[in-house]
Structure 1
Amino acid sequence: MTDVPSTNEVNLDFDRENRTGLAEAVFCQSKSLQQLQDICAQILQADKPMLFTKLESDQFEQLQAGLPAGFLDYDLISQTAFHEPYQIRSTDLVAIVTGGSSDVPVAREASRTLQFYGHETLAIDDAGVAGLWRITERLDALRERKIVICIAGMDAALPTVLGGLIPASIIAVPTSVGYGMARNGETALHSLLVSCAPGLVVVNIDNGYGAACAAIRMLNGLAVTN
């Protein structure tokens, strides 16, 4: 293991990728500026790649003021940042589909996570079932992908529809988009858990990062098999 000193509140796991195929990521929500600065100091000393999620713009602005220029690549829509992303590993294996444009921030968290690990993705946005032609006209492209991350709120019908149309592994992400009885994504989550399309993988509400990690585990398994 890499011998890197840690503060009392920060103890990064730089060996995790060797054990699991996935490096540790920094979940920034509720972290203090001092904690984030300590994390970056450990990353600098260890000279390791790192992904940051739920990093709000004001946190990033305060943090980057004390960092070397270009240390973090930040994306406002997904609230992600990364340091030293991996080289390109694949360009045509994963697609990310959203039911509506309100789901895009979650989709971008997934795509940025995959980008960090060197996997480029095909993005198909605003393809919900209320206008079914929007997804049916993209089926040929989706059938060429090994993995499809499908992100939808409200009744979250889109992953189930895709589950009956394409052979790819489908990772479904319910989002908190919707009125009233959508219950901040709980209805979408319950709908996906009882989907009649067998074999759907379902992650937690708004968890684009978790969906991307599931995809990476699948891709790592494909690489071992091949």
Structure 2
Amino acid sequence: MADIGYAELDLSRGARCGAGEVVYGEGKTAEQIAGIVDALVAAGQAHVLVTRLSAEKFSRARELLTCGVELEYRADARLAIAGGMPKADGNGTIVVACAGTSDLPVAEEAALTAEFLGNRVERVWDVGVAGLHRLLARTDQLARAQVVIAVAGMEGALASVIGGLVSCPVIAVPTSIGYGANLGGLSALLSMLNSCASGVSVVNIDNGFGAGYQASLINHLPGRTSAGAQR
């Protein structure tokens, strides 16, 4: 552990959990974020991910860093990466499927998180069930995936449809996108939790990070080969 006053850093998380500590940027000041990243890098963590980070806070934190590592910002996912992306060492490919353009920030957070954790990621955008032919045109790509992350708002039906097409685990991510009765993503969450498709698990509303992390754990399980190789 490392106590820096406003944070007590978990320096053994990489050895214990397979990935180092991730910095949640929302609610922290730029000074605190810079201090945490500096301390993690100084302790030997080669790559650091900062999630839910505004562009303004990123610019200030980058100025304050003293560790000598470049902090790169990905505005589409509202996250920053210190130390660059590691090489992919997962067993197969993670496919991130996004229902609509409005869901892209959450989908890209999932995709970049998975890449940061050492996975090959393919993106399948704008394949919501309102135009089902768009998804069906990608069935071969989905079938080759080791894990599929399905990101959708509105009624959240995308995860169930994909769950009925693939033999791999599907991680459903409800988003807060939708009209009034969507209730900030609650309708999509409940639909995904009640999916009749087997093999679908669900993370919290807008939790792209959690989905990317869970998909990475599955893709790094010992003894698993890519879904495409099994066919």
How does the TM-score come out when normalised to structure 1?
0.92
- Cα displacement string for residues 126-172 of structure 1 (whole angstroms, at most 9, x for unaligned residues): 00000010000100111011100000000000110111111121000
Q: Does 1:25 align with 2:22?
A: yes
Q: Which residue of structure 2 aligns with residue 82 of structure 1?
A: 81
Pairing of 1:34-49 with structure 2 (within 5 A): 34-48=31-45, 49=47
Change (3 A) 1:224 1:13: farther
Q: Which residue of structure 1 aligns with residue 229 of structure 2?
A: none
Q: Which residue of structure 2 aligns with residue 12 of structure 1?
A: 9
Change (3 A) 1:203 1:125: same
* Same amino acid, percent of matched pairs: 36
Q: Distance in 1 between matches of 2:91 and 2:146?
A: 11
Q: Distance in 2 between matches of 1:179 and 1:91?
A: 39
Query: Which amino acid counterpart does residue 46 of structure 1 have in structure 2?
Result: A
Q: CA deviation at 1:225?
A: 5.2
Gaps (5+ residues) in structure 2? 226-231
Q: Which residue of structure 2 aligns with residue 64 of structure 1?
A: 62
Q: Distance in 2 between matches of 1:105 and 1:9?
A: 29
- Cα displacement string for residues 23-66 of structure 1 (whole angstroms, at most 9, x for unaligned residues): 21100101022311221220232131211100110100111112
How does the TM-score come out when normalised to structure 2?
0.90
Change (3 A) 1:175 1:77: same
- Given that 2:54 and 2:78 are in contact with CA atoms closer than 8 Å, whether structure 1 keeps it comes out as yes
- Cα displacement string for residues 156-200 of structure 1 (whole angstroms, at most 9, x for unaligned residues): 001101111111210000000001000010000001111111221
Q: Distance in 2 between matches of 1:225 and 1:119?
A: 14
Give the secondary-structure state (helix, strand or coil) at the position aligned to 2:64. Answer: coil
Query: Which amino acid counterpart does residue 58 of structure 1 have in structure 2?
Result: E
Q: Which residue of structure 2 aligns with residue 108 of structure 1?
A: 108
Q: Distance in 2 between matches of 1:115 and 1:57?
A: 21
Give the secondary-structure state (helix, strand or coil) at the position aligned to 2:23. Answer: strand
Q: Which residue of structure 1 aligns with residue 48 of structure 2?
A: 50
Give the secondary-structure state (helix, strand or coil) at the position aligned to 1:132. Answer: helix
Q: CA deviation at 1:92?
A: 4.7
Give the secondary-structure state (helix, strand or coil) at the position aligned to 2:220. Answer: helix
| RMSD after superposition | 1.7
Q: CA deviation at 1:6?
A: 2.5
- Given that 1:33 and 1:63 are in contact with CA atoms closer than 8 Å, whether structure 2 keeps it comes out as yes
Of residues 61-70 and 123-132 in structure 1, the stretch that sits farther from structure 2 once superposed is 61-70
Q: 4+ residue runs of structure 1 moved beyond 3 angstroms?
A: none
- Cα displacement string for residues 78-116 of structure 1 (whole angstroms, at most 9, x for unaligned residues): 011112232221485110000101111001101111111
Q: Distance in 2 between matches of 1:93 and 1:44?
A: 29
Give the secondary-structure state (helix, strand or coil) at the position aligned to 2:3. Answer: coil
Q: Which residue of structure 2 aligns with residue 128 of structure 1?
A: 128
Query: Which amino acid counterpart does residue 195 of structure 1 have in structure 2?
Result: S
Change (3 A) 1:90 1:24: same
Gaps (5+ residues) in structure 1? none
Q: Which residue of structure 1 aligns with residue 172 of structure 2?
A: 172
- Given that 1:92 and 1:122 are in contact with CA atoms closer than 8 Å, whether structure 2 keeps it comes out as no
